[in-house]
Amino acid sequence: MNLTLDIKTFCKSSGADLVGIADLEPFKQGWTVLPQNLLEPYTRAISIAMHVNNDIISAISDVPTPEYAQHYRSVNASLDKITSQLVQWIIDKGFNAKAIQASHIVDENNLLGNISHKAVARMAGIGWQGKSLLIISPEYGPRIRLATVITNMPLEADQPLKNRCGRCMECAKACPASAIKNVSTESHYESRDEAIHLDKCHGKLCEFKARPGVDALICGVCIKVCPFGKKSRL
């Protein structure tokens, strides 16, 4: 029995577009998780990604659209359904697992979840971390949403991908908050402040949230302009 292959097959048959496995050991060496003892019973994280609709992303100009807000919530709900089913599948196999929902915030002041979906996705080989902090997948660019399941199931971990942003500045130039600093990294940023002005980004997201039909901390501009995301249309 190949549990790693079985997990990936199960996730994709349930609606996931990309699936990767991350070793949790680096996260236990001081990386931010909430609560601090969250990962003690677990050794692996399963990163699950769903591709967001290209036409909806392409319709964004310099502000998020109500259609994007609705789609954002719909994809999050689909991810949460997949992770719930996956947890039960793992438990049925005799192991422990816990779902970390898409876009679930546990620290409102610092905009932090239980664990960073992006950090897990990078370690799981879903994509590299772009200058916008988003995960850039080879298949869909940043046009993905993420969720995570942590488990003690003995799975084979995938490896991070090489950063391919290079000298591209499209997300930094297009950012409506001028929040992206155009700083690249070979692996990951030690803090979000290295890559973006978080206060500028959050301020603009709050402004967008108040727009009619949005009611979510979303933007989508850097997602739209990324060349890797545009290639997914071909």
pLDDT digits (tens, 9 = 90+) for 1-47: 699 999 999 999 999 999 999 999 999 988 888 898 999 999 999 99
What pLDDT, on a 0 to 100 scale, did the predictor assign at position 81? 97
> CA nearest 71: which of 223, 231, 233?
223
pLDDT digits (tens, 9 = 90+) for 169-206: 999 999 999 999 999 998 888 889 999 999 999 999 99
Rounded mean pLDDT of 86-90? Answer: 98
* Residue entry with tokens 């349930």: 14
What pLDDT, on a 0 to 100 scale, did the predictor assign at position 32? 85
Cis preceding-peptide flag for 160 (omega within 30 of 0): no
What pLDDT, on a 0 to 100 scale, did the predictor assign at position 234? 42
What pLDDT, on a 0 to 100 scale, did the predictor assign at position 229? 85
Domain ranges of the chain: 3-231
> CA nearest 138: which of 99, 164, 115?
164
